[in-house]
Structure 1
Amino acid sequence: MKEEIYPIAIEDKMKDAYLNYSLSVIIGRALPDVRDGLKPVHRRILFAAKELGLLHNRPHKKSARLVGEVLGKFHPHGDSAVYEAMVRMAQHFNQRYQLIDGQGNYGSIDGDSAAAMRYTETKLTEIAEALLDNIDEETVNFIDNFDGSLQEPEVLPSKIPNLLVNGSSGIAVGMSTSIPPHNLGEVIDASIHLLDYPNARLDTIIKNHLPGPDFPTGAMIVGDDGIKSAYENGKGKITLRAKSKIEKEGRHKNLIITEIPYQVNKAKLIEEIAGLVNKGKISEVSDLRDESAKKGIRIVIELKSNADPELILNRLYKYTSLQNNFRINLLALNDKKPVVMGLLEILEHFLDFRKEVIRNHTKYNLNKSENRYHILEGLKRAIDELDIVIQVIRNSQSKQEAREKLMDELNISEKQAQSILEMQLQRLVGMEFEKLEAERKDLEEKIKYYKNILNNEEELNSVLRDELKDIKKRFSDKRRTEIISDDSKAEITKDDLIKEKNAVLSLSYRGIIKRNEEYKNLREAKNDYLISTVEGSSLDQLLFFSNQGEVYNLQVHDIDEHHGLATGDNLSKYLQIPIKENIISLNILAKEESDSKNEYYTFVTESGLIKRSTADEYRTNYSHIRAIKLDNDQLINVEKTDAEQDLFVVSKNGYIIRFSGNSFSTTGRNTLGSKAINLSKNDKTIYFNTYSPDDYLISISEDGRANKIKLSNFKAQKRNGKGIRIFSNTNYKLAGAVKAAKNDKLLIAAKNGEINEINVNDVPETSPGGNMYKVTQELEFEKIVAVEKIIEV
């Protein structure tokens, strides 16, 4: 032959070769068939085991015998691939319903490998035989094996919805499948419901029959949104969590892990827990041991006497494989094409397949019965005309002549004539004749029954329904995996990792913040003073309001807890605040919204605007948000208030106005305020607080003069008035004002940074519009720039 060379683009050749390769991997190796739920290697292992006679009620045989049978006849790949697939079908922690009954070392949940195939033995389980039932009775198509010397089944006639029951996982080219195992009884109940109600809704099946996957290792599924998504669209994600219990041992409590998530290596899991303990992430553990045995898993985590088991468990869920995610991708081959299917579609394909298998099996039985009936009809005719039969046989010179004469004399077929010639003389006995007649009548009933199945859809469905019920009765067991439908419990938040306890926080004039459990342990640093304290829970939220209208957010437990003489940390450790921005108010917001109901934050700006918003407006996960809309203005203070109490505002030029809180409306977070005080051209507000009649207003001027006036002396006015004069001399400018009691102490800060304190008792008391007096002769400040009430603990 003349050699011819045809040019071809390498990209076209590569594309063609890669497509052929990927198709081979997808169909011939990596993906299961929707009908029997098996990949080719698993199907060949089961079929070869049946051919070898390795049935569940017979003795085991060496695994190497079965592996060799599979390799030599059906699966021309590596022996390790076949053996590993066979081992997995025998592992109770991997298969929800084992298809191989293994004897010997078949590996462990700790990741130990199985012994070599020459040491282990194998045979089919009873449930595996249900996948192979009637395979020799023309129920499924057979195809050539790899060398054309033998035939193998294209698919097994599985009576079990194995794709869902045992699940499957595999990586093909450009796609992968991840199908979780399910409870056999639940899958069959769902199949029967769909058989009875072809238009059944998915929600009904999930609610009444098939709530979700059921893993061989038990554990829990937390949340059902991922299940619904997977069953509807074929894709979803579920959260698996270990099961545990708490056991008391004297003063101590032990955390016992009894079930772990699917496909988690127990030995590695224990290493993960030990690693957390060694790194100090979990410090309350005194011992860790594995007490697992044949009865089941038992990991003992011995806790110290002060440990909180729930808190420890949440940390283990967060940082170890005690909780993990399982991705669901219901991808399988349908008519040799990879398709992502929903639950209803998978069940429909299985039911359609089983109907086809039942039809094929019925046709096989009908044909067999009709052939036998035809023979019996000939034998009956021969017995009725026995004299003719004897005469024909005596007078014939050969079998062929006798067969042809019988066909002519009795008007029968060749098969019937042949069966007459092969009939034994004992069949002429009366009892034998009665048996033949009984068999003939029985066959008449069977033929009628088989035809009814083939011609009546309802009868076919009835056969399938009875078959499914029988499988459920034989193999169904209890659900192992608990499903918690609340999806909010699936995510372990930071709050779940923190022990809830009382928290007292202080902020000093120089920006030092400290957290403790009690007020008595709060201390300021040298040459510093506490100016703000709040109390709540370690799970609450801290809000830092700035003069630029921002609110910075921290969780209370984010602040390090300090004990004894420790003074705390600089606020800059926790918050990145711009240089020109100052924190003017520290507040605490309860974790639960119900606890902050009817609470408000009220804001006052330098220009005299006031605004109130609900506390929950500031509940956020962001590091900071806008607290108020400002227009060339800045905040002077933020106070937690109700919606009705009286408020007062003080200006730099020495005016105060008191008005009712219900004189303005509550608005949203990012809004401007209403006018609180009508300021003159060169004036601005410097202080704002809630009115309390027994407290005093202490006013301090920039040059160190002061007075105190009981707040009850300032009568309520309408909002947006000019207010009342605090002191008579119009030349004084206030450095600051505070609300305080008689025995309180005040911090006075000078422009040069020097700070000092004075007692409220030392400040002269006057009436509104009275004089201002030098507070103390010892003050040698430059211009005073700030006044704060000192918190004493």
Structure 2
Amino acid sequence: MERERLENEYQDLLAKIAYYKEILGDERRLLAVIKEELDVIADKYGEDRKTSFSYDDILDAEDLIADDDVVITSTSLGYIKRMSPENFRQQNRGGKGIKGMQTIEKDYIEDLFMTTNHHYIMFFTNMGRVFRIKGYEIPEASRTARGTALVNLLPLQEGEKVNASLCLRDPKDEQDLILTTKSGMVKKTALSEYANVRRNGLIAISLKEDDQLIEAKLLSKDENIILVTKKGMAIQFNEKDVRRTGRSSMGVIGIRLNDGDEVIGMQESSQGENMLVVSEKGYGKLTEKSAFKAQNRGGKGMRCYKITEKTGDLVGFKLCDQDREILLITTEGIMIRMSLENISIIGRNASGVKLMNLDKDGDTTIASVAKVRESEGDGEEDLETDPGEDADTEIAEINEEDTKENQEE
């Protein structure tokens, strides 16, 4: 009774076998069958995804970046980079240092400071404008790399360059900001007025035609301010002598300058017990801060350094304790780290000692000086690391030459 059904099933199986053999024997036919089957699946199940993959709403891109300590360096021609502090180690006074940045002709490192990836960095330009970015937004580079041009990070105008930088965690703090210009003007403004810095910057201070903004600092209450000029004059006055003004005001006179003189820096009295001054030809000294009596702003100040042909004009000064360490940077990008314990404390009207050997027949001079800051929590210095075996060999040779020269002197 089932014979006819079985014969039909048998013929059907033979036809399927022949069909499958035909597919397996022809690659083009096989791909065509696969395409047909995928089209059927797509028509049957081809619906848009109803879920999406994304970051958690409470997770920001900044949360994926470690809040590590970093060293930021910038040059006079506007190159900036972010480095790990594991690039420098301590050397003795009078050495020649290690290469800190590869600069182009007529360029040199102008600013160096320690911060973290998550700190805000406010950039104040010579034209009196202010910009703000996070530390991690500055591209990281090696110790000898030139870095990234600031014009790629900030919308700077022609002829505009960054002259001062400020690191802070919260721009809405109830603190005052004090600004200083090359001609001796000072201005105190509430930091909260700079809380909303636009991408194209804000006016930080109004300037005269021939003046430039050179320094910006956060100000503590009842703090004394010290200004130093390149011709060796210094003045100390209380911040209460400077009235608070608006963001776009010009400020008041901090120090009256002689012809050809200009302000090279500003420090707060609480930043250290001694004044370190460094000349362009590698000389410097420490003087007790108490040697400079506080006076009213607007005076000519007191002599703080004896300028000679051998020393050249002053290029930088810092207030610091004698147990701290400093970095000196030359116009060729050479850096040297030294302890202030090796520098004697002497009077106001002296020229000091040689801090760094410079080529007497060359054009290399000291460009700037920076303090080495201590890490929070562990009490260790940030920059006390080993740059490598080759650098150790070079430093050992330099220190041996320095010891011989000091013995001869």
* TM-score, normalised by the number of residues in structure 1: 0.34
Q: 1:740 to 1:665 in 2, by over 3 A?
A: same
- Give the letter aligned to residue 82 of structure 2: K
Q: 1:654 to 1:622 in 2, by over 3 A?
A: same
Shift in Å at residue 608 of structure 1?
A: 0.3
Is the 1:644–1:662 contact (alpha carbons within 8 Å) kept by the matching residues of 2? yes
Structure 1 residue 647 corresponds to structure 2 residue 245: no
Structure 1 residue 551 corresponds to structure 2 residue 116: no
Which of 43, 57, 69 does residue 314 from structure 1 map onto? Answer: 57
Question: Deviation digits for residues 335-375 of structure 1, max 9, x if unmatched?
Answer: xxxxxxxxxxxxxxxxxxxxxxxxxxxxxxxxxxxxxxxxx
Question: Deviation digits for residues 225-263 of structure 1, max 9, x if unmatched?
Answer: xxxxxxxxxxxxxxxxxxxxxxxxxxxxxxxxxxxxxxx
Q: Distance in 2 between matches of 1:638 and 1:660?
A: 16
Shift in Å at residue 744 of structure 1?
A: 1.4
Superposition pairs of residues 51-62 of structure 1, within 5 angstroms:
none
Q: For residue 319 of structure 2, what is the aligned residue in structure 1?
A: 739
Which of 695, 710, 719 does residue 288 from structure 2 map onto? Answer: 710
Q: For residue 163 of structure 2, what is the aligned residue in structure 1?
A: 584
Q: Unmatched 5+ residue regions in structure 1? A: 1-110, 114-264, 274-281, 283-311, 316-494
Superposition pairs of residues 11-22 of structure 1, within 5 angstroms:
none
Q: 1:600 to 1:541 in 2, by over 3 A?
A: same
Superposition pairs of residues 94-243 of structure 1, within 5 angstroms:
none
Shift in Å at residue 581 of structure 1?
A: 3.3
Q: Quick check: which has more Rg, 1 or 2?
A: 1
Which of 714, 726, 748 does residue 304 from structure 2 map onto? Answer: 726
Q: Distance in 1 between matches of 2:171 and 2:283?
A: 46
Q: Distance in 2 between matches of 1:625 and 1:313?
A: 33
Question: Deviation digits for residues 689-717 of structure 1, max 9, x if unmatched?
Answer: 11137432222333333222122322211
Q: 1:629 to 1:681 in 2, by over 3 A?
A: same
Structure 1 residue 628 corresponds to structure 2 residue 205: yes
- Give the letter aligned to residue 584 of structure 1: N
Query: Which structure shows the bigger proportion of residues in helix conformation?
Result: 1
Q: For residue 766 of structure 1, what is the aligned residue in structure 2?
A: 346
Q: For residue 712 of structure 1, give the secondary structure of its aligned residue in structure 2.
A: helix
Bigger RCO of structures 1 and 2 (CA < 8 A, at least 6 apart): 2
Q: For residue 189 of structure 2, what is the aligned residue in structure 1?
A: 613
Shift in Å at residue 762 of structure 1?
A: 4.6
Structure 1 residue 672 corresponds to structure 2 residue 250: yes
Question: Deviation digits for residues 637-684 of structure 1, max 9, x if unmatched?
Answer: 111122421110001111111111111111111110111112112211
Q: 1:728 to 1:502 in 2, by over 3 A?
A: closer
Question: Deviation digits for residues 283-339 of structure 1, max 9, x if unmatched?
Answer: xxxxxxxxxxxxxxxxxxxxxxxxxxxxx2328xxxxxxxxxxxxxxxxxxxxxxxx
Q: For residue 663 of structure 1, what is the aligned residue in structure 2?
A: 241
RMSD: 3.8
Which of 176, 179, 185 does residue 600 from structure 1 map onto? Answer: 176
Q: For residue 541 of structure 1, what is the aligned residue in structure 2?
A: 120
- Give the letter aligned to residue 188 of structure 2: R
- Give the letter aligned to residue 73 of structure 2: S
Query: Which structure shows the bigger proportion of residues in strand conformation?
Result: 2
Superposition pairs of residues 370-769 of structure 1, within 5 angstroms:
496-499=60-63, 502-510=67-75, 511-514=79-82, 526-528=99-101, 531-535=112-116, 538=118, 541-556=120-135, 558-559=137-138, 569-570=147-148, 572=150, 573-578=152-157, 580-591=159-170, 593=172, 596-597=173-174, 599-619=175-195, 620-631=197-208, 632-692=210-270, 694-729=272-307, 733-742=313-322, 743-750=324-331, 753=332, 755-757=334-336, 759=338, 760-769=340-349
The alignment covers a number of residue pairs equal to 305
Is the 1:689–1:739 contact (alpha carbons within 8 Å) kept by the matching residues of 2? yes
Q: 1:496 to 1:637 in 2, by over 3 A?
A: same
- Give the letter aligned to residue 57 of structure 2: N
Q: Distance in 1 between matches of 2:88 and 2:333?
A: 20
- Give the letter aligned to residue 527 of structure 1: G
Q: For residue 610 of structure 1, give the secondary structure of its aligned residue in structure 2.
A: strand
Q: For residue 267 of structure 1, what is the aligned residue in structure 2?
A: 48
Q: For residue 617 of structure 1, give the secondary structure of its aligned residue in structure 2.
A: helix
Instruction: Give % identity.
Output: 21
Is the 1:514–1:568 contact (alpha carbons within 8 Å) kept by the matching residues of 2? no
Q: Unmatched 5+ residue regions in structure 2? A: 1-41, 90-97, 102-108, 373-381, 384-409
Q: 1:736 to 1:779 in 2, by over 3 A?
A: farther
Q: 1:515 to 1:605 in 2, by over 3 A?
A: same
Shift in Å at residue 549 of structure 1?
A: 1.4
Q: 1:514 to 1:604 in 2, by over 3 A?
A: same
Q: 1:670 to 1:774 in 2, by over 3 A?
A: same
